[in-house]
Amino acid sequence: MQTDAGLVKVALLGTGDIATRHAAALKVVPGVELRSVCDLSLLKAKAFSKTFGVKGIYNSIDDLLDSQTIDVVHVLTDPGSHGPLAVRCIEGGADAFIEKPLAVSMKQCEELAQKSRAYGRLCAVNHQWVHSPVIQHLMREIQSFKFGGLRHVHMIFSVPAAHLRLLRPDHFIFNDSRNLFFEFGPHPFSLINLLLGRVRSAETSASGEIELMGQSLSDLWQTSLVCERGTASLTMNIGKTTRNITLDVIGEDAAAHIDLVRQSMEIRDPESEVVPGRLRSVLRRSHRDVSDALADLFHHYRSTLNSSKVLPHDPFQASLLDFYSARKAGRSPRQDIATGAAVVEYCEEAVANVRFSSRQARVVSYAG
């Protein structure tokens, strides 16, 4: 799959916020070269190419794909355009690494899967939280039967998302409040899907109201889910809040509290209740305090770090590495089309019937 020069030629489609993280992470992937960038705004593409020293600059996907051989395109545009643009990449002869969500409907996911099969092209989605060290640790404990059967997962996904105020008024999320689920939902749903399998049904209620770009959006969403292997609940708070991303996993034999921001996990099982003693709880508390302090320090200085530096065990980096190593080995990436589609199904189910309990209570069917 490598090119004549032995390097995989990569292009970024969309040079907005997230493109910077992709360009930085690519620097650490062996055997790849960021060859071109493409954005509808040529000005943006030019400014980006200057920062990262990229030679090819385009403002149309057709020109990008027609002008040269590109092996992989990272699709980094707004969620509503992922499906159609990824299909265009596949038809143009390139593999696609797509930012979350894979697409915004199951219909688009099916078309993508069909095209990927027909053209023999690889497609994957960036669900980076799945690659977090703490989630890898949790999965090892689950596989060693520490928890017995899983019964319930509760996730809090609370992020300030200050960047929403910088988006253009015609951005995808301002078309409909429920589009927030396609923008943010893939983060928690990729984890719930990993733990409990596909969604069977969901009910969501929305409350709170924020004004953005003259639009009123609900900022607090609570979803109850029935999944293949247990039940789940998600509290999603986007807007005026602090960053808090936690997961409580309840199994037959043990339970765990996971803090994804701090990458910490506390497991409770009958054994740990018998053994602990005072020393054990003091050690556990100090360990938590030290990791909290280090995590705070990291987040405080993160923005001042050179963007080309990628930290070890960075889930974002791990997600790209998995895609490129799978491509090289001819195996399926962990977050493949089927997994991406399962997460889109979660988003679709979550917004299918939403009960709004803000100023003007209303019950809306997304399909209608």
Ligand X SMILES: NC(=O)c1ccc[n+]([C@@H]2O[C@H](COP(=O)([O-])OP(=O)(O)OC[C@H]3O[C@@H](n4cnc5c(N)ncnc54)[C@H](O)[C@@H]3O)[C@@H](O)[C@H]2O)c1
Q: Which residues bind ligand X (CB under 6 A)?
A: 13-19, 38-41, 44, 61, 76-79, 81, 85, 99-100, 126, 128, 183
- Give the side-chain half-sphere CA count within 13 A for 26: 24
Least distance to ligand X from the beta carbon of 53, Å?
19
Q: Which is nearer to ligand X, 288 or 298 (CB)?
A: 298
Q: Which residue is nearest to ligand X (CB)?
A: 16
The burial class, CB within 10 Å (0-12 / 13-18 / 19+), for 360 is: exposed
DSSP letters, 53-68, are T--EEES-HHHHHHHS
Least distance to ligand X from the beta carbon of 130, Å?
11
The encoded tokens of residue 110 equal 């099916």
The encoded tokens of residue 245 equal 């991303």
Least distance to ligand X from the beta carbon of 83, Å?
11
Q: Which is nearer to ligand X, 28 or 40 (CB)?
A: 40
Q: Which is nearer to ligand X, 147 or 184 (CB)?
A: 184
Query: Using H for helix, E for strand and C for coil, what is the string for 150-178?
Result: EEEEEEEEEECCHHHHHCCCCCHHHCCHH
Instruction: Report the candidate in 59, 58, 56, 3 with the shortest Cα–Cα distance to residue 32.
Output: 3
Least distance to ligand X from the beta carbon of 229, Å?
26
The encoded tokens of residue 132 equal 């977090």
Least distance to ligand X from the beta carbon of 69, Å?
19
Q: Which is nearer to ligand X, 230 or 340 (CB)?
A: 340
Least distance to ligand X from the beta carbon of 250, Å?
27
DSSP letters, 296-311, are HHHHHHHTTS-TT---
Q: Classify residue 144 by its DSSP letter.
A: T
Q: Which is nearer to ligand X, 150 or 341 (CB)?
A: 341
Query: With DSSP H G I counted as helix, E B as strand and the rest as coil, what are the percentages for the chain, rounded to 5?
Result: 45, 25, 30
Q: Which is nearer to ligand X, 17 or 271 (CB)?
A: 17
